[in-house]
């Protein structure tokens, strides 16, 4: 079995820990040093924050982001484990015959998380012109984010409401780019970015809502209450909205066939995983 490196998981924990430390500073609370971790001193932080205290709404948004980041990291680790298991299954005992192709390691045309390449977009079904456009827009927004953080750090307003607002404005540009896509295009877009784009049921818990509705292990969850599901976090958010217990439609894909069933809004009672799969025709 190919092990998942602890460094990858540790990297995810650093993201959440950093967000927690930042939030504590924003709240004006003393940052307690964690065992094995060091927090860099920032003598000017107190003066910055006392002059421009973040409102409760912004603090609540930061808390929500930290929770979503933790859930995203859990999905990413689960997807990585599944991907490594699939890669292991392709290996043969004889090394010369078992040399994996680029598509076996990184998916068709590449597209690892964090990488944006024109080749990955083309491999996901986009035209060369579309691939060049998406690559350019991602590079432009990424550079703007780097310049924003550098400027805020040099001028001393990294931990202020101004930085939060300007960072949100840059993310809005990416949101607008994604909102202009239809469902199939967005699924291929996520695939090109190396991100999960489908949710698969790994196990249905006995006597659960999903079990009563006929959901089975291996099903792909396509829609919940009419909304497309791309990642496990989407399903968690949708199932929390609305009135608990109201009956909502769930569209699933099983052996190439689309099936619709109904469940009460709330926990489905399944173990699920976010998968990265090249979409077929709509």
pLDDT tens readout for residues 192-233: 999 999 999 999 999 999 999 999 999 999 999 999 999 998
Give the three-state DSSP class for 218: coil
Q: Please identify which residue in the block is written with the tokens 């060369």.
A: 128
Token look-up 């590079």 returns 139
- Rounded to 5°, the CA angle 168-172-176 comes to 175
Spacing of C-alpha 129 from chain mean position: 26
List domains and CATH numbers for the chain.
1-100 (no CATH), 102-195 (no CATH), 198-275 (2.30.42.10)
DSSP one-letter code for 93? S
Given a cut of 70, whether residue 82 has pLDDT beyond it is: no
* pLDDT recorded at residue 56: 62
DSSP SS3 for 200: strand
Burial classification of residue 224, based on how many CB atoms lie within 10 Å of its CB (0-12 exposed, 13-18 middle, 19 or more buried): buried
pLDDT in tens, 151-198: 999 999 999 999 999 999 999 998 999 988 999 999 999 999 999 999
Element containing residue 163 per DSSP (H, E): helix 161-179
pLDDT, mean over the chain? 74
> pLDDT band for position 253 (50/70/90)?
very high
- pLDDT interval class at 109 (50, 70, 90): very low
pLDDT at 16: 39
124: tokens are: 């996901």
Task: Identify the pLDDT of residue 241.
Answer: 86
Other Cβ atoms less than 10 A from the Cβ of 215: the count is: 23
CA distance 44 to 153: 11
Percent of the chain exceeding pLDDT 70 equals 58
**pTM attached to this predicted model:** 0.58
What is the pLDDT, as a whole number, of residue 105? 31
């Amino acid at each position: 079995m190919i092990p998942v490196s602890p460094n990858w998981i540790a990297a995810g924990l650093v993201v959440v820990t950093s967000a927690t430390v930042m939030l504590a500073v924003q709240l004006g609370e003393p940052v307690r040093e964690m065992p094995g971790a060091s927090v860099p001193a920032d003598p000017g932080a107190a003066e910055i924050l006392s002059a421009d205290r973040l409102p409760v709404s912004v603090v609540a948004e930061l808390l929500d982001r930290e929770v979503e980041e933790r859930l995203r990291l859990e999905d990413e680790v689960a997807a990585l484990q599944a991907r490594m298991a699939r890669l292991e299954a392709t290996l043969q005992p004889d090394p010369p015959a078992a040399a994996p192709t680029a598509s076996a390691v990184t998916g068709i045309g590449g597209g690892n998380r964090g990488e944006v390449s024109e080749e990955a977009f083309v491999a996901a079904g986009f035209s060369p012109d579309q691939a060049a456009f998406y690559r350019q827009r991602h590079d432009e927004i990424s550079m703007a984010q780097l310049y924003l953080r550098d400027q805020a750090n040099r001028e001393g307003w990294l931990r202020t409401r101004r930085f939060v607002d300007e960072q949100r404005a840059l993310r809005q540009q990416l949101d607008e780019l994604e909102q202009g896509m239809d469902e199939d295009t967005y699924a291929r877009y996520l695939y090109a970015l190396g991100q999960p784009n489908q949710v698969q049921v790994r196990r249905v818990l006995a006597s659960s809502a999903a079990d009563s509705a006929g959901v089975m292990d291996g099903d792909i969850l396509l829609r919940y209450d009419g909304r497309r599901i791309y990642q496990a976090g989407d399903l968690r958010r949708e199932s929390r909205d609305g009135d608990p217990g109201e009956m909502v439609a769930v569209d699933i894909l099983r052996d190439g066939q689309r099936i619709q069933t109904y469940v009460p809004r709330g926990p489905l009672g399944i173990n699920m995983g976010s998968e990265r799969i090249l979409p077929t025709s709509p």
